Structure 1
């Protein structure tokens, strides 16, 4: 019996690793291939078709929509389940993907449960879920099957550690006292910053203030509520700037969560949000925002 194969396509290592971990944890025996963009995925599919394709939309060289259109033109890929995994959830984008022949949609950021539900649905429709279950049954994995999972694996080993705006902020828990410079800024006006945006997490969305911005990360301030951001949680940062109200959706994860105020019930939280996109258009947008003065400078002690 041949293995059930899934092709994961995304230019962000962190997202690919997140998807792969979710698949391996919930579908023992599944065969996973990966590609960094649509062009690489196309080359892989020409050699060996997949049973399911999980694909990002915005990627360099060939986008997810272009890959989808190409797949639907191939005799052996016309009916292959194709799930778009993207932060493009606007109605016009959804309609565009449906017209191109998409099978389903997963919005970024996504929870593990959302990923598993969509994959099960797609595999069930194609008749592959029963095959996968039957193949995995005789090979029940031991409790230590995923012992090698680690922070390095989850982030693809590429999450750079930089100097945050306060020493050891990445390691400081949310209830720890914030340095004097941060306390003063927060006490004076916690909401002041270089711009505003919306941070979308698997559990919901929250408004945020962009305190600093670089091509690799953003320093955000959010008001603490029922939704408390977690370190290593995947997220999408929506930025809207300029007279034309340009909007960029930047994929990433929370590298650090710290408190502005020296008390356990701190009202304001400071987040370091690492970008994982490598899409030239998004990098160009960030460059223009920085040049425009939305973000005054890169992170440095006392910024």
Structure 2
């Protein structure tokens, strides 16, 4: 029986690796190719056949929506399952993709289970589930890791890195040292406004304060919850700035997690969020945020 073939299209290497390794961990017999943008994917689809396309929406040169429209205009690709992997959940974007012939959506950030469930569903509709099942291993036992991104990228062998509870994290490279003076008063979570946003993880959404930001990464402060964010966990940072309510959805992963206050039971965490987007529009948006002085460099919890 021939292998099931999948084309992964995303301009962010981290996301491509996350998808490829996540699929291979569940379906070791699967054949996976990848492309850095829609234009490259076009060339690959012209010369090869694929059973499924997993594609990012926002990419340079050719977007996911443009690639989808092109695919549906090709006789051999009219019925090929096409899953859009995106942080865009607005109604108008969903409607636009449906009208263009999208098969399904995977929202960023996503877990391995969400990814494989969508893949099984799409290939089942295409009659390829038998070939997929033939290559699937027995379901792995629970490794105790809550971080799907880390498990996928390390093959389930690495330990989850937990934040150091007794020290204040050093500033990320390229950032000025934050002036933090923990207050005794009970802090309240950020909910909106200058220098604030929300961080979407597979496990839920966290309000956050942006302490520093560059084209490479952002230094965020979030209130500690029952589930700790994990190093290498994929996420989406939503920022709304300006009178027009312009929203940027920045894809990335957690590069570092540490306690903000110098005490074991610190209520606040400091996260280094590394951006993975290569989209010129998002880089331009980040440049404008930096120019506006978006970050709250002197943020004090509870102040």
TM range (shorter): 0.7 to 0.9
Matching residue of 2:158: none
Contact preservation (8 Å) 2:54, 2:82: yes
Contact preservation (8 Å) 1:183, 1:261: no
Q: How does 1:145-224 map to 2 (within 5 A)?
A: 154=153, 173-178=163-168, 184-187=180-183, 195-224=195-224
Runs of 4+ in 1 over 2 A off after TM superposition: 171-174, 179-194
Between the aligned partners of 2:54 and 2:216, the Cα distance in structure 1 is 25
Contact preservation (8 Å) 1:87, 1:108: yes
Contact preservation (8 Å) 1:38, 1:59: yes
2:76 partner SS: coil
Between the aligned partners of 1:195 and 1:100, the Cα distance in structure 2 is 36
1:269 partner SS: strand
Residue 175 of structure 1: how far off its partner (Å): 1.3
Change (3 A) 1:26 1:179: closer
C-alpha deviations, 1:36-89, integer Å up to 9, x for none? 000000000000121000000000000000000000001100000000000001
Contact preservation (8 Å) 2:209, 2:296: no
Matching residue of 2:245: 245
C-alpha deviations, 1:120-147, integer Å up to 9, x for none? 001111111101223x27x98x99xxxx
Q: How does 1:92-131 map to 2 (within 5 A)?
A: 92-131=92-131
Change (3 A) 1:218 1:182: closer
Between the aligned partners of 1:179 and 1:256, the Cα distance in structure 2 is 9
Question: TM-score normalized by structure 2?
Answer: 0.83
Q: How does 1:265-276 map to 2 (within 5 A)?
A: 265-276=265-276
Which residues of structure 2 form unaligned runs of 5+? Answer: 142-148, 155-160, 171-176, 298-303
Contact preservation (8 Å) 1:85, 1:106: yes
Contact preservation (8 Å) 1:194, 1:211: no
Residue 293 of structure 1: how far off its partner (Å): 1.6
Change (3 A) 1:47 1:188: farther
Change (3 A) 1:267 1:253: same
Between the aligned partners of 1:244 and 1:219, the Cα distance in structure 2 is 25
Matching residue of 2:89: 89
Change (3 A) 1:278 1:184: closer
Does residue 61 in structure 1 map to residue 61 in structure 2? yes
2:222 partner SS: strand
Residue 172 of structure 1: how far off its partner (Å): 7.8
1:175 partner SS: coil
Q: How many residues align?
A: 273
Question: TM-score normalized by structure 1?
Answer: 0.83
Contact preservation (8 Å) 1:8, 1:16: yes
242-251 or 180-189, which moves further after superposition? Answer: 180-189
CA RMSD of aligned residues (A): 2.8
Between the aligned partners of 2:179 and 2:163, the Cα distance in structure 1 is 15
Which residues of structure 1 form unaligned runs of 5+? Answer: 144-149, 156-170, 298-303
